Structure 1
Amino acid sequence: MAERKHDREFVRTFFTSPTAVQGEEDSAKMIRSASGLRGMQAPDVWVPDNEDATAPSMRDEGADNIVEVVAENGADFPGEIHPRIVWHRDSPATRYQCLQHLLQIADPEKGAIEHIDGFVIPEVGDIDDWKKADEFFTIVENEYGLDEGSLKMSVIIESGQAELAMGTLREEMGKPTNNLERLFLLVDGEVDYTKDMRAITPTGALPEWPELRHNTSRGASAAGLIAVDGPYDDIRDVEGYRERMTDNQAKGMLGIWSLTPGQVVEANKSPLPPQTGSWLLDTGTQQVELTDEDGVQVYDGDRVSLEEDGGSYTLSVGGDEQTLDEDELREELLDLTEYVPSMDDIVDSMEEFEAAREGGTGAIAMEQSATLRIDGVEIDVSNDRMWDEATYQAAMTPIKLFQDVYENRPDQHEDLADLYSEDVVDRAMSVGQ
């Protein structure tokens, strides 16, 4: 993974809001409201959206609104502020409008730019197109006496050209002929990507594009950037949103576009370690979370059954039956179960490994044990997981995420203490240091 060039190592939430709403007495009402978000409702990156979310006829007014609202409220906003402005790889007129809006918003005399961390550029094409946008940033920085590279640039991957361009970033960034090191986020835009790819589905729904999400995550990792998934349009489908984030996180894509403050809350919490640990049981079709009843992990479904008869056990999973002795049953249940560690569990394991390492031990065994109850039959299971330096470093990813959140989002300190307790927070901030 390339060295990251920006203080933020993680972005969980990318929240867009229209910059100008037609027919309203205050056309800036949406971004004015968004600028007041705090705590878990406030995103890591707020995007006053002067492109798709704002009608073309309102975009000049939208640029004025960005200046007004950010100058007034930007100092107190707890996340980073990255307006999205117009751009298109095939339209010189649109790119010219981008430059005009950049110059308008970045004018230091208007008081907004000191609170703006960067800008989001949509509809980019191949790498030469990215360089054109970067050059506009450099022109604006020189026009107003800003440090070259001080304005971050994030791009939305909405075309096959842009997807292929991610593969050349490692070679292009850092060359003296560009300032592409200003790049910050790579954001998927599946709607326009689907249009660009001329993709068709029977229902007209968007393809899931797992390859695009993988490629964006890989491109971000290789270039030292941060990957963010695109919008999840069904804002009432909270469980689907969570499943999408879980799938993304397994690809290393910890950030996602949020369309409502409710989605922001879900996305802010999703990549953080859980408050309590839980056991999962594979039922043959899905993993279900077992219910903790006074320390016993209970399965209460109909896909798995267990009977005992004189020391012999009959285990049925999805209709497949096995007759097992007690040791065989334990082995089978160990194959069917997984443990999801809590924040406290992760910190405990890391502290134990750090102590062992300081004492000269390179690897230690960590035991996981539980009592399972299926159809009233209880069985104790346990296994040992070896922890070495590689395991420790892998466990650091969620802890580093937590530390990054804690350092950059003081407005969430109270929420995090309520979630984990002050003691666990303090310990999590100390491990790995």
Structure 2
Amino acid sequence: MTARTHDERLHDREFVRTFFTTPTAVEGEEDSAKMLRSASGLQGMEAPDVWVPDNEDATAPSMRDEGAQNIVEVVAANGEEFPSEIHPRIVWHRDSPETRYQGFQHILDIADPEKGAIEHLDGFVIPEVGGIDDWKKADEFFTIVENEHGLDEGSLAMSVIIESGAAELAMGDLREEMGKPTNNLERLFMLVDGEVDYTKDMRAITPTGDLPAWPELRHNTSRGASAAGLIAVDGPYDDIRDVEGYRERMTDNQAKGMLGIWSLTPGQVVEANQAPLPPESGRWLLDDGTQQVDLDDQGDEQVYGGDRVSLEETGDGYVLSVGGDEQELDEDELREELLDMTAYVPSMDDIVDSMEEFEAARDAGTGAIAMERAATIVIDDVAIDIATDRMWDEATYQAAMTPVSLFQDVYENRPDQHDDLADRYGESVVERATDVGN
């Protein structure tokens, strides 16, 4: 039998925004599971899409056996009320049979149906994988555990952390390997970047000692996930006070198709849960030569309040200055220049409006329509009307569906966030957004 290639999602969740890790056992505490207990009570926007009780890096080696028992105890007691998926991370290493065996023993113990945790668990996270044969070893351990405990084969999802060059290259083998009768690799769920250990494996050096950004790794992980029908998640952003940097990282990731990110604190969880969702209100941006800045929405006008761009009306035209560079323009030339300098970030309501308009035209037999976006831009009290037309066809519609599909996936799988979504968008927009495209 030949391998079956596919790129469709094989799990209920189509998107993961947040991957939140918690130590499974804290040394020196009267209750070593106290952080697990606290995390198990998270709800709403503070609760991640995937919670990862972390029995690897976040837990001291001497505490990991106790950590496995803590996972069982806390998940058995609180897992039913936890609002999203639970995927513990266990120990593993491509170069250490002893470590792999310890991880296998922990999975076997945690998944024991008699202990009551497995009914609330969705899978496990495997760190430090190597080449594709190493992934198959982990998969085989999962299959053994499932058979040992009378679970359906493939019922436990497996996610891996890409922390080596070998693992990065292995992502290119997935389409050929998944679906072969000799493995259960279709259990794969997430591909998660681990930039710290990846940096060590690559022997990379930076002058400051900071981690490289590794945009290539993030692109390759997103591509590998797309090709194999999986979900891509970026690694931890460890400067937990740098909220703007975290947002910029997520924006960069989202442009690569990587909508999920590791979260180290409940505060980061909130940021990462909200970041991929369409904004509640649209806004106009203007490029001032160094960055895109928000224009001040004053109802019928969008007003620039910075000092890098100036506009003066002369007797027969205009003088536009950007960062000291002046241009003498007539009205049509100025309008074209401002069209190049401005951009519009659509709100959820805007996106749904456009999709509904296209659906109506398509149902009436029209294959493509023009959507107009207009504004009055005010710079130094000089007002200029601009307008642009964008052609919408089926491909444009499908591209616009991605953020709406994300919203629909969140709405379906996270009922604990319904109130937050209604507060963000309003009930009517939420209702329309859940219906569009269906």
- TM-score range relative to shorter protein: over 0.9
TM-score, structure 1 normalization? 0.99
Counterpart for residue 40 of structure 2 = 35
What is aligned with 1:318? 323
Percent identity of the aligned residues? 84
Aligned counterpart, 1:121: 126
Partner of 2:410: 405
1:251 matched to which residue of 2? Answer: 256
3-state secondary structure, aligned to 2:90 = coil
Q: TM-score, normalised by structure 2?
A: 0.98
1:310 to partner: Cα distance: 2.1
Give the number of aligned pairs: 433
Q: Distance in 2 between matches of 1:220 and 1:46?
A: 20
Most deviating of 71-80 and 314-323:
314-323
Distance 1:407 1:265 in 2: 18
Q: Tell me the distance in 1 between the aligned counterparts of 2:341 and 2:422.
A: 34
Cα offset, 1:289, TM superposition: 1.2
Distance 1:69 1:176 in 2: 36
Alignment map for 1:105-144 (pairs within 5 Å): 105-144=110-149
Answer yes or no: is 1:69 the counterpart of 2:74.
yes
Residue number in structure 2 paired with 1:344 = 349
- For 2:110 and 2:65, the matched residues in 1 are separated by 11
Q: RMSD of the alignment, in Å?
A: 0.7
Look up the equivalent residue of 1:64 and give its one-letter code: Q
The question of whether the paired residues in 2 share the 8 Å contact of 1:87 and 1:124 is answered with: yes
User: Deviations along 1:365-384, whole A, 9 cap, x unmatched?
Assistant: 10000111111111111011
Q: In structure 1, what residue type is equivalent to 2:101?
A: Y
Task: List alignment gaps of at least 5 residues for structure 2.
Answer: 1-5
Letter in 1 for 2:176: E
1:303-328 CA-partner distances (Å, limit 9, x unpaired): 11111112411111122210001111
Match for residue 374 of structure 2 among 366, 369, 393 = 369
**1:103-157 CA distance string (max 9 Å, x none):** 1100000000000000000000000000000000000000000000000000000
Partners of 2:141 and 2:300 lie apart in 1 by: 60
Q: Determine if the alignment matches structure 1 residue 18 to structure 2 residue 20.
A: no
Match of 1:82 among 77, 87, 90: 87
Equivalent pair of 1:173/1:179 in contact (CA under 8 Å): yes
Which of 374, 389, 392 is equivalent to 2:394? Answer: 389
Q: Read off the aligned partner of 1:384 and give its amino acid letter.
A: D
Query: Aligned to 2:313, what secondary structure does the other structure show?
Result: strand
Cα distance between partner residues in 2 of 1:252 and 1:78 = 25
Match of 1:46, SS state, is: strand
Deviation at 1:296, TM superposition (A): 1.3
Q: Does 1:178 find its partner at 2:183?
A: yes
The match for 1:147 is 152
Q: Which residue of 2 aligns with 1:415?
A: 420
Report whether the alignment pairs 1:94 with 2:99: yes
In structure 2, C-alpha distance between the alignment counterparts of 1:310 and 1:14, rounded to whole Å: 59
SS in 1 for 2:246: helix
Equivalent pair of 1:22/1:58 in contact (CA under 8 Å) = yes
For the residue of structure 2 that corresponds to 1:428, the secondary structure is: helix
1:4 equivalent in alignment to 2:9: yes
Q: Could you give the per-residue CA deviations for residues 50-72 of structure 1, whole angstroms, max 9, x where no partner exists? A: 00000000000000000000000
Helix, strand or coil at the partner of 1:103: helix
1:227 pairs, out of 232, 235, 239, with 232
- The separation in 2 between residues aligned to 1:150 and 1:221, in whole angstroms, is 21
1:294 to 299, 304, 308: 299
Cα distance in 1, alignment partners of residues 316 and 79 from structure 2? 68
Aligned equivalents of 2:246 and 2:104: distance in 1?
Answer: 35
Moved more, 369-378 or 167-176: 369-378
CA contact (8 A) 1:306 1:377 kept: yes
Give the structure 1 partner of residue 312 of structure 2: 307
Q: Displacement, 1:294?
A: 2.6
Q: 2:221 aligns with which of 216, 219, 224?
A: 216
Kindly indicate whether residue 300 of structure 2 is the aligned counterpart of residue 272 of structure 1: no
- Contact 1:11–1:255 (Cα < 8 Å) also in 2: yes
**What SS is found at the alignment partner of 2:302?**
strand
Q: Secondary structure at the match of 2:401?
A: helix
Tell me, in whole angstroms, the C-alpha distance in 2 between the residues paired with 1:316 and 1:218: 42
Asked if the contact 1:311–1:326 (Cα under 8 Å) also holds between the matched residues in 2, the reply is: no
C-alpha separation in 2, matches of 1:172 and 1:313: 63
SS in 2 for 1:99: helix
1:135 and 1:125 mapped to 2: Cα distance? 15
- How many angstroms apart in 2 are the aligned matches of 1:291 and 1:20? 50
Question: Would the aligned equivalents of 1:372 and 1:380 in 2 still touch at CA under 8 Å?
Answer: yes
Structure-2 separation of matches of 1:296 and 1:37: 42
> Using the alignment, how far apart are the partners of 1:10 and 1:311 within structure 2?
55
